[in-house]
Structure 1
Amino acid sequence: MDADGRPLLVTQGDPAGIGPELTLKAWLQRKEARLPAFAVLADPDHLNGLASRLGWNIPIVPVRPAEAVAAFDGALPVIPLSTTVKASSGQPDPACAPSVIEAIETAVRLVRKGEAPALVTNPIAKHVLYDAGFRHPGHTEFLAALASEGGSEPPHPVMMLWSDELAVVPVTVHIPVSSVPSALTTDLIVRTGRIVARELKERFGLSHPRLALAGLNPHAGESGAMGMEDDRIIAPAIEILRADGIEAAGPLPADTMFHARARQRYDAALAMYHDQALIPIKTIAFDEAVNVTLGLPFVRTSPDHGTAFDIAGKGIARPDSLMAAIRLAARLGSRRDAP
């Protein structure tokens, strides 16, 4: 996966959260987990200190991207930040925000320059960044803004939670449930469905992607008896997607979409709001699910969990989702570079 001499890039995330120790653990388990070479954007001294406190013998070497693959087998390659990181595990601090932002910006710049095939982002805490003056709604929106630098139109990013057992996409994401009916439009569903179908083809290699769209209301509205949004908003979107040649089923009752037999009928499920998508995948694949951002001009994956400040620095956080994100980033980055 790293045969072309380019490493995957992993950002530190919030240095007070579990991201840094998960990255250390991923390197420790690199051989048995069969991980491709990666380099982390971080402060080497901070990682050294954390590894020492946890009692882990991990050589850490500062590198340029071109040197990372050769160094990876014997040491964790670190692309140093210009910002010094002074973070205490489990203690979120707005003073760490500049390093968090620098790691993301630098990683995006390197990937867009072709020095790495893909980007894996460790979890950040939005409230910490907001306290430091961060103006973007979240991680994904920040990445979309970085993708549009140079005058291009900002892309429409789509969040997919992926695992071997299930892939889900929330059409509306981080908004109150009470706001979902007014935010949900036929145009938004169509735009999301087109991006998902396109990237399932281009990045995941599916020749004929199958989409299943959940209804908003119980029983998908039951012909209007439990709400009209399914007939008035979702059903027309499905017809437009079908007219585009996309195999789209629905609107389907969400309570019968996610059992094992139902999952065999589609490649990705489009849910109408956050929890409708995330509850099933976190039930089925809590430790292995990966957050993939579709619609960007570069590959970005992330673990499907947060900063977990409550257990940070204790060495007990599981790296499964980060390692799955690294493997998936390598897979998608390899396909994106293929002629």
Structure 2
Amino acid sequence: GKVTGDTLVYSMDLLKEHQIDGFVFGPLNKQAFKRGGYHVEDEHELFAQCLDWMDKPRGILNVMNKLWTFRVTTHIPFKEVPKYITKENVLKTIDLTYQTMKRAGYDNPRIALAALNPHCGEGGLCGTEEIDILKPVVESLQAQGKDIVGPVSADTIFMHAFRGEYDAVVTLYHDQGQIATKLLAFDEGVTVAGGLPYAITTPEHGTAFDIAGKGIAKTSSFAHAIRLAAQMSGWRGEEA
């Protein structure tokens, strides 16, 4: 765990010294990471600390089969989700998605915003967040020329996304997006450190200690992570 943290700090130093444009790191074990002396929530908090980026917009995006996903809330109890669904938080999330995707070569990415309530709230009969918060945000961004639609009912949004109608989906809570994307391509996913001034990616899967040394690990997620980091660093060859 200490070697893992030390290596990440060294990589960040190389970034700040402009010796590299980005890096890809392998899955890490958070328990070992913390036992090694790195008492932060996760490696992404470490990155923000190293770059003095703690108070600036940042977040973790997931990319699977060219579909980007990001969420307004992350690791919080489900009962607390609605209070975090504010116009400010939704706007920040969508803006961070746009900015990160532009680094990856998208001029004006097609983004869909998921609804919070069943059937988009049934016109206010089953919740009003869609009317009071989500629709006004979408309309304000459309007025700026951004290619965004929504809110789209969460039970159909990924059907459209998997058909290639969107480049990205912004969800409102963890499982709203993670279940769909992991069903689509569990072995292909890439995690992107969004909002940072450098390209930092990693495979979305975990350490998989249970299969270590067996020669059966799949490498496609790591290959996608490398391509995407290169793409975010300015490479405009084959898309990730």
* Fold similarity call, TM over 0.5: yes
1:166 to 54, 67, 92: 67
Q: Which residue of 2 aligns with 1:98?
A: 2
Identity of matched residues, %: 37
AA partner of residue 258 (structure 1)? F
Does the alignment pair 1:136 with 2:136?
no
1:316 to 216, 221, 225: 216
* Change beyond 3 A, Cα 1:261–1:296: closer
Give the RMSD, CA atoms, in angstroms: 2.2
Does the alignment pair 1:193 with 2:193?
no
Q: Provide the C-alpha distance between the structure 2 equivalents of 1:122 and 1:133, rounded to a whole number of angstroms.
A: 19
Identify which range, 134-143 or 113-122, moves more after superposition. 134-143
Matches within 5 A, 1:201-240: 201=102, 203-240=103-140
Q: Provide the C-alpha distance between the structure 2 equivalents of 1:197 and 1:204, rounded to a whole number of angstroms.
A: 10
Give the greater-gyration-radius structure (CA). Answer: 1
1:125 to 22, 29, 43: 29
Q: Which residue of 2 aligns with 1:332?
A: 232
AA partner of residue 164 (structure 1)? N
Q: Which residue of 1 aligns with 2:58?
A: 157
Q: Which residue of 2 aligns with 1:52?
A: none
Instruction: Name the count of aligned residue pairs.
Output: 236
Q: Which residue of 2 aligns with 1:252?
A: 152
AA partner of residue 229 (structure 2)? A
Q: Provide the C-alpha distance between the structure 2 equivalents of 1:229 and 1:209, rounded to a whole number of angstroms.
A: 24
CA contact (8 A) 2:67 2:166 kept: no
Identify which range, 312-321 or 253-262, moves more after superposition. 253-262
Tell me the CA shift for residue 153 of structure 1.
6.2
Tell me the CA shift for residue 205 of structure 1.
2.0
Q: Provide the C-alpha distance between the structure 1 equivalents of 2:163 and 2:68, rounded to a whole number of angstroms.
A: 9
Q: Give 3-state SS (helix, strand or coil) of 1:155's partner.
A: coil
Q: Which residue of 2 aligns with 1:78?
A: none
* Change beyond 3 A, Cα 1:329–1:261: closer
Q: Which residue of 1 aligns with 2:143?
A: 243
Does the alignment pair 1:296 with 2:192?
no
Q: Provide the C-alpha distance between the structure 2 equivalents of 1:261 and 1:118, rounded to a whole number of angstroms.
A: 28
Q: Give 3-state SS (helix, strand or coil) of 1:310's partner.
A: helix
Q: Give 3-state SS (helix, strand or coil) of 2:170's partner.
A: strand
TM-score (normalised: structure 1):
0.64
Q: Provide the C-alpha distance between the structure 1 equivalents of 2:170 and 2:139, rounded to a whole number of angstroms.
A: 15
Q: Which residue of 2 aligns with 1:62?
A: none
CA offsets per residue over residues 155-189 of structure 1, 9 Å max, x none? 32122211334221122112222221122221111
Tell me the CA shift for residue 133 of structure 1.
5.1
Q: Provide the C-alpha distance between the structure 2 equivalents of 1:263 and 1:274, rounded to a whole number of angstroms.
A: 22
CA contact (8 A) 2:63 2:191 kept: yes
CA offsets per residue over residues 269-292 of structure 1, 9 Å max, x none? 101111111122212222112111
Q: Which residue of 2 aligns with 1:269?
A: 169
Q: Give 3-state SS (helix, strand or coil) of 2:209's partner.
A: coil
Q: Provide the C-alpha distance between the structure 2 equivalents of 1:216 and 1:134, rounded to a whole number of angstroms.
A: 36
Q: Give 3-state SS (helix, strand or coil) of 1:270's partner.
A: strand
* Change beyond 3 A, Cα 1:133–1:230: farther
Q: Give 3-state SS (helix, strand or coil) of 1:279's partner.
A: helix
* Change beyond 3 A, Cα 1:260–1:266: closer
CA contact (8 A) 2:191 2:202 kept: yes
AA partner of residue 2 (structure 2)? P
Q: Give 3-state SS (helix, strand or coil) of 1:258's partner.
A: helix
Tell me the CA shift for residue 261 of structure 1.
6.8
Identify which range, 102-111 or 138-147, moves more after superposition. 138-147
TM-score (normalised: structure 2):
0.88
- Which stretches in structure 2 are left out of the alignment for 5+ residues? none
CA contact (8 A) 2:112 2:148 kept: yes
CA offsets per residue over residues 220-277 of structure 1, 9 Å max, x none? 2222222222222222322332233322211110111112576432211101111111
CA contact (8 A) 2:108 2:147 kept: yes
AA partner of residue 179 (structure 1)? E
